[in-house]
Amino acid sequence: MHAWTNQPVATCASLKAFLMRLFLADSHSRAGLSAHLRERRAQVANHRKLLADGLQTPGAGLGQQLAVDYGLALATAELEWLEATLDRLPEEPLLEEEHQSVDAVIQA
C-alpha cells in the first residue's frame, strides 16, 4: 500500500485514487504530500484549460455548454482548495537530531 501511495496519480486516474492518498496522508512526508497536491493541481489546471477551450466550440448545444460550465465550476473550486491547502500545509517537522543541532547553534 505504501509503495502505491508514493506513485504519482495518473492523469486519467479517478478522483477516488486521489482521495485515498489524502486519507493516507499521515503515512507520507510533508514533501511527498506536497508533491501529490502540486501534481493534482497541475492535472486540474490542465483539465480546466481544456474545458475552457471547449466553451469556445461553435455550435455547442445547451446541454454541452451546461456540462462544460459545471466542469469548469468544479475544476475552479478544486484549484482554489488545492492552493489554500498547499499554502497552509505545515512545514516538514524537524527530526530530533536537527533540533539538537539547531539548539547547539542557538546556544553558541
Q: Kind and range of the H or E element at 15?
A: helix 15-23
| Residue-level pLDDT at 79 | 97
pLDDT in tens, the chain (108 residues): 556 555 565 555 667 888 888 888 888 788 888 888 999 999 999 999 999 887 777 777 888 888 889 999 999 999 999 999 999 987 665 444 444 444 444 444
| Residue-level pLDDT at 13 | 61
Q: Which domain holds residue 45?
A: 2-107
Judge contact between 19 and 40, C-beta under 8 A: no
Q: Give the number of domains in the chain.
A: 1
DSSP 28-83: S-HHHHHHHHHHHHHHHHHHHHHHHHHHT-TT--HHHHHHHHHHHHHHHHHHHHHH
